[in-house]
Structure 1
Amino acid sequence: MAPSAENKLTGLIAATFTPFTSQGEVNLEKIGPYIDYLTEKQGVNGIFVNGTTGESMSLSVAERKLLAEEWCQKAKGKLDQVIVHVGCLSLKEAKELAAHAAEVGADAISAMAPFFFKPRTAAALRSFLQEVASAAPALPFFYYHIPAVTGVNVSVRDVLEGIEELIPSFRGVKFSGLDLMDLGRCISSSPPHWSFLYGVDEQLLAGLVVGADGAVGSTYNYAGCHVNALMSAFKEGHVDGAREIQFKMQELLSYAMKLGFDVGVNKQLMNELSGLSLGPPRLPVTACPSADAQLIAKKYCQIFNDC
């Protein structure tokens, strides 16, 4: 059966943090309450796990498997989509994680480009993605484009050339790049059953105008309810209302960036706003001073009047 545009992935997806104990070990006990918080407090019904926000490259393969299984198990009946990121520097490990994701019930998989030995051409990157996707051929596959982290600046439009012939399960891109022309060229030339999920939270509205189908981001863990309102306003043609919410997100993130906003700061902010106690980040990412996280949390409350 040919893939249908009616079943394409849309909406808001939270890129989840990985819960750790105070000793830096994976803390699976937090995942159930975390999912409840996302669905009940933020109105988020999809998650992207073991990605950048989840510190995937600081996790072992065994830890990533434990987390994928727990997220999938606890999400049953509560979340519509669990996308497991399986990208690795090692192709063999990426394929191992892809096969495992299929075994534990993931709804889709995704992979970023390897970033030590980098693919220099679109063809090389397509071949890498083809190998990863082949380990879980029944799962929808999404390319995760995040050039600021990987340093792989190959045009996504070039990567997509003929990709569905190589990867029949290909269903779109998590586009975490600033090049909206590249995004627009991808969307304008792609089949309707592909999804383009924008991943730059501070300019989501621009991505939606270009034609993004949804969004994946870290701030949606604690600001998902507001961003859902942004997306609803845009969909209903209320651009001014959507713009007002986007400006508020930009004000918050601009303030946070002055305090060195990174995964560690973001995770501490999540701890402050959600009360989930997800633990510290793992080195080389360092925890931010609690006072800084409290300042950002206070700013969030002031901007959104939501505390």
Structure 2
Amino acid sequence: MGLDKFKGIFPAFYACYDDAGEVSEERTKDLCTHLLEKGVNGLYVGGSSGECIYQSLDERKATLRYVAECLEGKLTLIAHVGAPSTRDSVILAKYAEELGYDALSAIPPIYFTLPERSIYTYWSEIMDAAELPFIIYNIPQTTGYSLSMNLFKKLLKNEKVIGLKNSSMPVMDIERFKAAAGENFIVFNGPDEQFVSGRLIGADSGIGGTYAVMPELLLAADKAVTSGSFDEARKIQKEINDIIIALCSLNGSMYSAIKEVLKLKGVNIGSVRGPLEPVSGEDLHKIAAIKILIDRSIEKYAN
């Protein structure tokens, strides 16, 4: 299959709530439209940025449906279907296929420490549930499991495995996975703070949790890397990292800070769901300064 549609900038889609904290169809579609207009290449729907582990199965299905209704055929859509149980993951995989998603993805099982044969079976059962390509998700800092090369090579024998979202912090991991899989395989850089270095060492694309609050900068960084303007790319990465540090410096969840910035940009998608904490108190007054930091960076590098 052609893999070009999986190349580029893929914001990890945020959970969109109404003022009562329920998943909102209107606000989900507002964020879809906003990102479509920014020119991103696709979306990664239902992952950690979508607060998936804090949502019910029905809520996750609703978000998948709202995004598909708004964007099917307009952007490449990847459905993250990882869940605490294989049963729920399979249900989400089948539903994403019905909705017309382009690919599936899933974190490894969480909470219990499992042997690799269990992780292999979990991912395999998700792939067996739908006739869609599959993108492995390696994020050891939150799942407690670091994808081994042995399991990776075993998974590559399944023709449905077409990509890997690698969010481990060593950039070398991207190079090793890309070298093992070959050119006919998509590696997505995971850590936003190392997007440029990840691309230079072998990543074809990027999926990230901060992309949707500053898509213009990630698109500009990707363009700079592709065109060989590496000094420009490094400067943009520095701006991106300054913004990420600012977003993480407040007394609430980074996603809450992002959502407050988006409100100032005219995109209200509510707040975050507990146990994630909203930004509050004096730190709310710092949101406007972060928006200005983003706007100035966009003006400098993306216009």
Inter-partner Cα distance in structure 1 for 2:155 and 2:28? 35
Inter-partner Cα distance in structure 2 for 1:39 and 1:95? 28
Q: Would you say the 8 A contact 1:264–1:286 is kept in 2? A: yes
Q: Which residue of 2 aligns with 1:133?
A: 127
Taking the TM superposition and a 5 Å limit, the aligned residue runs for 1:266-277 are 266-272=258-264, 274-277=265-268
Inter-partner Cα distance in structure 1 for 2:288 and 2:172? 37
2:27 is the counterpart of 1:30: yes
2:212 is the counterpart of 1:212: no
Q: Partner letter of residue 57 of structure 2? A: V
Give 2:136's match in structure 1, choosing from 130, 143, 157. Answer: 143
CA RMSD, Structure 1 to Structure 2 (Å): 1.9
Q: Would you say the 8 A contact 1:15–1:48 is kept in 2? A: yes
Q: Normalising to structure 2: TM-score of the pair?
A: 0.92
Q: Would you say the 8 A contact 1:113–1:119 is kept in 2? A: no
Q: Would you say the 8 A contact 1:19–1:30 is kept in 2? A: yes
Q: Would you say the 8 A contact 2:216–2:298 is kept in 1? A: no
Q: Would you say the 8 A contact 1:8–1:195 is kept in 2? A: no
Q: Would you say the 8 A contact 1:10–1:214 is kept in 2? A: yes
1:216-238, CA deviations, whole angstroms, 9 ceiling, x for partnerless residues?
11222121112111111111111
Mean CA deviation greater in 285-294 or 49-58: 285-294
Q: Which residue of 2 aligns with 1:199?
A: 190
Q: Which residue of 1 aligns with 2:162?
A: 171
SS at match of 2:15: coil
2:291 is the counterpart of 1:297: yes
Inter-partner Cα distance in structure 2 for 1:35 and 1:106? 15
Q: Partner letter of residue 301 of structure 1? A: D
Deviation at 1:51, TM superposition (A): 0.6
1:76-123, CA deviations, whole angstroms, 9 ceiling, x for partnerless residues?
2432x11111001101110111011111111111000111113343x4
Taking the TM superposition and a 5 Å limit, the aligned residue runs for 1:56-95 are 56-79=52-75, 81-95=76-90
Q: Partner letter of residue 152 of structure 2? A: L
Q: Would you say the 8 A contact 2:106–2:137 is kept in 1? A: yes
Give 1:10's match in structure 2, choosing from 7, 10, 33. Answer: 7
Question: In 2 relative to 1, CA 237–257 (structure 1 residues): closer, same or farther, beyond 3 Å?
Answer: same
Q: Would you say the 8 A contact 2:138–2:147 is kept in 1? A: no
Deviation at 1:37, TM superposition (A): 1.1
SS at match of 2:181: coil
SS at match of 2:50: coil
Mean CA deviation greater in 26-35 or 88-97: 26-35
2:146 is the counterpart of 1:153: yes
Inter-partner Cα distance in structure 1 for 2:44 and 2:125? 21
Inter-partner Cα distance in structure 2 for 1:275 and 1:149? 31
Q: Partner letter of residue 266 of structure 1? A: I
Deviation at 1:55, TM superposition (A): 0.3
Question: In 2 relative to 1, CA 163–8 (structure 1 residues): closer, same or farther, beyond 3 Å?
Answer: farther
Q: Partner letter of residue 135 of structure 2? A: F
Deviation at 1:131, TM superposition (A): 1.1
Deviation at 1:159, TM superposition (A): 2.6
2:215 is the counterpart of 1:224: yes
Q: Which residue of 1 aligns with 2:276?
A: 285
Q: Would you say the 8 A contact 1:248–1:304 is kept in 2? A: no
1:205-254, CA deviations, whole angstroms, 9 ceiling, x for partnerless residues?
11011110100112221211121111111111110111111111111112
Mean CA deviation greater in 10-19 or 258-267: 258-267
Q: Would you say the 8 A contact 2:217–2:236 is kept in 1? A: yes
Q: Partner letter of residue 30 of structure 2? A: P
Q: Would you say the 8 A contact 1:7–1:193 is kept in 2? A: no
Aligned residues: 297
Find runs of 4+ consecutive structure 1 residues off by over 3 angstroms: 302-307
Inter-partner Cα distance in structure 2 for 1:73 and 1:295? 35
Deviation at 1:66, TM superposition (A): 1.1
Q: Would you say the 8 A contact 1:233–1:239 is kept in 2? A: yes
Taking the TM superposition and a 5 Å limit, the aligned residue runs for 1:243-258 are 243-258=234-249
Q: Partner letter of residue 155 of structure 2? A: I
Q: Would you say the 8 A contact 1:14–1:48 is kept in 2? A: yes
Structure 1: any 5+ residue segments left out of the alignment?
none
Question: In 2 relative to 1, CA 265–222 (structure 1 residues): closer, same or farther, beyond 3 Å?
Answer: closer
